[in-house]
Amino acid sequence: MNLKRLFLAGALLIIALLSLSCAPKKKIFVAPKAPAVPTPHQTVLPPPEPPPAVWTVENSLKRVDIVPELRDDEPAQTLIDAVDLSLQKFSSMDPAALLRFGADTVPVARVVASLGDFRAKLAELGLSEGFFRYLRENYVFYSSAAPQVTFTGYYEPLLRGSRRESPRYPYPLYGRPGDLVTIDQPQFYFYKDRPDLPQIKGRVVGSRLVPYYTREEIDFRSKLRGRGLEIVWIDSLVDIFFLHIQGSGIVQFEDGSRIFVGYADQNGHPFKSIGKYLLDMQLIERGQLSLQGMKAFLKEHPEAIPAAMIANPSYIFFQVNEQSATGTFGTRLTPWRSVASDPRLFPLGTLAYIECEKPVFDAEKRISSWEKFGRFVLNQDTGGAIRGADRVDLFTGSGEQSELVAGGMKQKGALFFLLKKNPLP
């Protein structure tokens, strides 16, 4: 009986298991995988441009062991004349006064001895390979620390003027105002270690120093009228504007007599390029971006003159000079031999060597090509727009050719300063 029951129970269990295996399987929900999120596109940005170099006296020049290939494309006599002018100016200076050639401090006496030696060898050997070899063996060369130096040109323009104001000559050429105040920042104790800081210019109102009048205030709001500052009156405001850029010029009167005018001071406002303004306003094409092209545009479009000139707030004041084209070093400038540079960085009156390109003109006085050249020059001038170790202005003299070269020149090149290794006994 018990066996019977066990057999029956086992049979029932087997039937139950078979029933379960034959029953339809219950579906199990499996959550689908979330779709892969695509990795966002990684934009590779170019490295940021390095900030513009902050040039100081110490880092503006560096001594170099590799001397440039020396040559010269101008007559030796003009170089002798330019050296003589620097020597004459240095003769009135304290021999112990110090000049800076980059990190090197050099007394005036050594600079004078170097110039004297250079002049003597030049007079003996001329601009020959023997002279160049002597310089390579006996002189120290300092290169501008700027990777490339931009060379522009400036010249001595001829303006038409009168000693009296009239409808024909309505525009005044101003002398230096008596209320123009100049502050040399390095003289103050908190800036005594910053000889590279520029001067501050302004005027005193009450007990405060405020910026001096801008070009707009002087030329178009007559802030200096009636103060007896007029040197002469000129027939063209455009010619006066470009005289400001050149820094010196000749004023010819109706009777044929002339006077020489030169830089006396500046109002302290920064120089702004009129060429950039005309381009930004789409008033001229880039091909017109020369001195001649800009002057022609303004004279043909007098309605554009006020805004174009106001865009440059810098203003130059003049003085009458006894000789033509006097640089800020105090010497007469020698055409093709005198240059202007930043006086905070490069020693005035000293000998330099430049490598650049000069324009070649076709029969229509258009630039047809550029020709490489090397030349010895004297650093005898400065300019409001000539700032930094990468800017030099070459004085081209006066006349049509000088204006053409100065108006079209804006080329890259190299700048070196020279000192004799052992000029003193």
Residue 195 has a pLDDT of 66
Residues 59-95 as b/e (b if ≥16 CB within 10 A, e otherwise) read ebbeeeeebeebebebebebbbebbebbbebbeeeee
Say yes or no to pLDDT of 53 above 70.
Answer: no
Say yes or no to pLDDT of 222 above 70.
Answer: yes
Residue 186 has a pLDDT of 75
Question: Could you tell me which residues come within 8 angstroms of residue 206 by beta carbon, excluding any fewer than 6 positions away?
Answer: none
Residue 353 has a pLDDT of 98
Say yes or no to pLDDT of 390 above 90.
Answer: yes
In the chain, what are the domain boundaries? Answer: 170-177+212-324
Please state the rounded mean pLDDT for residues 96-113.
Answer: 96
Residue 287 has a pLDDT of 79
Say if strands 410-420 and 139-144 run parallel, antiparallel, or are unpaired: antiparallel
Residue 400 has a pLDDT of 87
Question: pTM of the predicted model, to two decimals?
Answer: 0.74
Closest by CA to 57, choosing from 230, 202, 186, is 186
Q: Where are the beta strands (DSSP E) in 37-116?
A: 61-64, 98-101, 104-107
Distance of CA 245 to the CA centre of its chain: 13
Say yes or no to pLDDT of 92 above 80.
Answer: yes
Say yes or no to pLDDT of 376 above 90.
Answer: yes
- pLDDT category at 5 given cuts 50, 70, 90 is low
Closest by CA to 393, choosing from 152, 191, 103, is 152
Percentage, residues of the chain above pLDDT 90: 69
Q: What is the crossing angle of helices 108-125 and 76-90, to 10°?
A: 160
Say yes or no to pLDDT of 228 above 70.
Answer: yes
Tell me the C-alpha distance between 161 and 385, whole Å.
Answer: 26
The predicted-structure confidence for 328-349, as pLDDT tens digits, reads as follows 999 999 999 999 999 999 999 9
Say yes or no to pLDDT of 313 above 60.
Answer: yes
Residue 33 has a pLDDT of 43
CATH class of the structural domain 170-177+212-324: mainly beta
